[in-house]
Amino acid sequence: MLMYRETEDHLALSRLFKNSGLDVKVTAEIPDGVLKMWRCIDDETGELLGGSVLQQKDGRYILKDLAVKDGYRREGIGKALMKKALEEAESLGAEEIWGCAKVPEYYTAKGWSIVPDEDAPVISDCQQCEQYLSVCFPRIIRKQL
């Protein structure tokens, strides 16, 4: 059985995010502005299967990270973790939520919109990287709540 819970274990989540291909620093230190973090674990084995992070930066709510361990994708884990972040942002009064997506098609299928580069606020370290839009092509996304 899968269990979804809030967590303070950023080290475990950051390892999962890094192993899932996200450009994150593996650290126990919770990044500035993080409001909540969630994890999905296999109740029988205790294995970490997915995680998500909600952050606030410059007055914007951001789905900072979302990843599911390879081999467990397409089972609804990412959708459930995203829902946790969306519900929390909405409960805090957010009217929209932002993100930086390496796989934007995943998000657009769930009602997110791709923001044109010229209209995108700086919400991610990716946007300040020299590889952004030259070697690496994540997209800034937004969802109305």
Give the pLDDT confidence score for residue 129 in this predicted structure: 67
Give the pLDDT confidence score for residue 124 in this predicted structure: 82
| Mean pLDDT score across all residues of the chain | 93
Give the pLDDT confidence score for residue 133 in this predicted structure: 64
The CA-CA-CA angle for residues 31, 18, 123, to 5°, reads 45
The answer to whether 80 touches 4, Cβ cutoff 8 Å, is: yes
CATH number at residue 91: 3.40.630.30
pLDDT for residue 132 is more than 80:
no
pTM: 0.92
* pLDDT, tens digit (0-9, with 9 covering 90-100), for 10-63: 999 999 999 998 889 999 999 999 999 999 999 999 999 999 999 999 999 999
Q: In the structure, what pLDDT confidence band is assigned to residue 66 with cuts at 50, 70 and 90? A: very high
The domain tally of the chain equals 1
pLDDT for residue 3 is more than 80:
yes
Domain that holds residue 7: 2-144
